[in-house]
Structure 1
Amino acid sequence: MARVVPAVIRALDILELFLDRPEMSAREVIERLDLPRTTVHELLVTLVERAYLVPVPGQPVRYRLGMPLFQLGSAFAGRLDLVREAQSVARDVAAACDEAVHVAVLDGADVVYLVKVDSTHPVRMVSGVGRRLPAHCTAVGKILLAGLDRASLNAVLAKGPLAAMTPESITDPERLRAHLEQVRAEGVAVDVGESDTAMRCVAAGIRDHSGAVVAAMSLSAPIIRWTPQAPSEWTALVRAGAATLSARMGYPTASR
């Protein structure tokens, strides 16, 4: 069996640190990864040499992501029909309610946001494309977890304890399993302050040509705009948006 190369893993660990911050110093990398100073220095020099990292102007020991990573990401996105189609559908859903619309996929025990269309309200959800959150704390994540078969769900839950983002987060595995059964039956999931106490969110699944749930679409807004009529209205909008996107992905919704 081919072995994993530790130096490559460490280099990738460094790059992934930049997913949640635009810039980082060499000292911060050392502290975050708990690696020897010499090792980090060699890896940073190599990444800068290939332009995957570039020094911040005027601050040579601070770094930010370089253009090759944008090019790789663009090449990936350009081959992903889901992203192109989701942007169009998400814009339509957002225009109908003037709230934030996201499309996300499952990656292990987390969700990763592929598409975001923001609202025009001054008070709105803080998020972004590429953001990663624990799946069990989000509406999109619960839809995606509910779409897994028993073995796949067990594998996800075996990855470790369910972390709490807020006091409302579900952290008990058995309670989560029961909740996912309800999500599966209803076809929608709601985040009632489980990822952010000031936000509410509703999500529905996106299916591909085989009927598998491959992504989820959500509609999110601050609790101040979660009016009595909002849950039913938003549920209808996100169901319709997810159905439209599913059809574009080849799912025969008209016959189901």
Structure 2
Amino acid sequence: MSRPVPAATATLRVLRFLSTQPVPVAASRIAAEIGLARSTTYHLLDAMAEQDFVVHYPDERTWGLGVGAWEVGVAFAAQEPLARLARLPLARLVDRVGRSAHLVMLQGADVLYVIEERARGRPPLVTDVGVRLPAHLTASGRAILATLPRAQVRALYPSAAAFVSRTGRGPAAPSELREVLTATRTRGYAEEDGEVTDGFASAAVALTEPALRASVAVTWETRDDVDVEGVLEAIRATTAEIDRRLRHR
């Protein structure tokens, strides 16, 4: 028989448990882990979902962490190991290419900006630490989505209703996103042009640590003459350095 657990304690246990899982999990498993009845667990998850602390993936009948959980930890993110280990390599990347760069993590169907390094003299961007953007529109998000199992991508984008647009460009249906991600896997990097902000383009490469679901991207004005291959070489070198730092932390 399940024993009573105060709601606040149960909520924290759910968040802690989900934070250790590489993929969303079923409510029945969450209930077993924290010692609650399934009906009570569903009520708790529904309440947490209303506040964006968890996300429900109905097609797979699973639950994962939501953006609310991330936002609570934004103040800690600056000292979080990934941010600390990646900040210097990202600063070196900006120095090398002379363009703004950032590191993001995937949260649900969005990317959240963990580090933003602005290049001197370059125009401001919509991105900043703590900003959230639709993953399917950003190069950084596509780089991560391309590494996920196809079933998980389907859960995040089950129908055309799951897609939003900022500039009228970008994939607007699951089939279009599949084409974008297939091309991303083939190239070995992701790109976008004017899908986040008119007049700006980006390229991104994902980190190899699957539990992190993170990537590094560089953004530039499309009117500029940019050595894209040189930028990609620098991004790959940066992600490799961050991966090495993560392995040896």
TM-score by length of 1: 0.66
Deviations along 1:71-94, one digit per CA (max 9) or x if unpaired, are 95444543x311111111110101
SS at match of 2:162: coil
Displacement after TM superposition at 1:156 (Å): 0.7
| Structure 2 counterpart of 1:224, one-letter code | R
Q: Using the alignment, how far apart are the partners of 1:198 and 1:84 within structure 2?
A: 31
Q: For residue 250 of structure 1, what is the aligned residue in structure 2? A: 247
Q: Using the alignment, how far apart are the partners of 2:122 and 2:185 within structure 1?
A: 34
Q: Using the alignment, how far apart are the partners of 2:231 and 2:152 within structure 1?
A: 30
State yes or no: 1:107 paired with 2:112.
no
Q: For residue 158 of structure 1, what is the aligned residue in structure 2? A: 158
Query: How many residues of Structure 1 are paired with residues of Structure 2 in the alignment?
Result: 191
Q: Using the alignment, how far apart are the partners of 1:156 and 1:8 within structure 2?
A: 18
The residue correspondences of 1:70-219 to structure 2 (distance < 5 A) are 73-75=74-76, 77-78=78-79, 80-158=80-158, 160-208=161-209, 214-219=213-218
**Structure 1: unaligned runs, 5 residues or longer:** 14-68, 252-256
Q: For residue 228 of structure 2, what is the aligned residue in structure 1? A: 231
SS at match of 1:176: helix
**Structure 2: unaligned runs, 5 residues or longer:** 1-37, 53-69
Distance 1:120 1:109, change over 3 A: same
Distance 1:87 1:173, change over 3 A: same
Contact preservation (8 Å) 1:207, 1:249:
no
TM-score by length of 2: 0.68
Displacement after TM superposition at 1:105 (Å): 0.8
Displacement after TM superposition at 1:172 (Å): 2.4
Following TM superposition, the consecutive aligned residue runs of length 4 or more in structure 1 with deviations greater than 6 angstroms are 5-10
Contact preservation (8 Å) 1:85, 1:245:
yes
SS at match of 2:125: coil
Displacement after TM superposition at 1:126 (Å): 3.2
Q: Using the alignment, how far apart are the partners of 2:175 and 2:130 within structure 1?
A: 29
Q: For residue 4 of structure 1, what is the aligned residue in structure 2? A: 44
| Structure 1 counterpart of 2:213, one-letter code | V
Q: Using the alignment, how far apart are the partners of 2:46 and 2:174 within structure 1?
A: 33
Identity %: 25
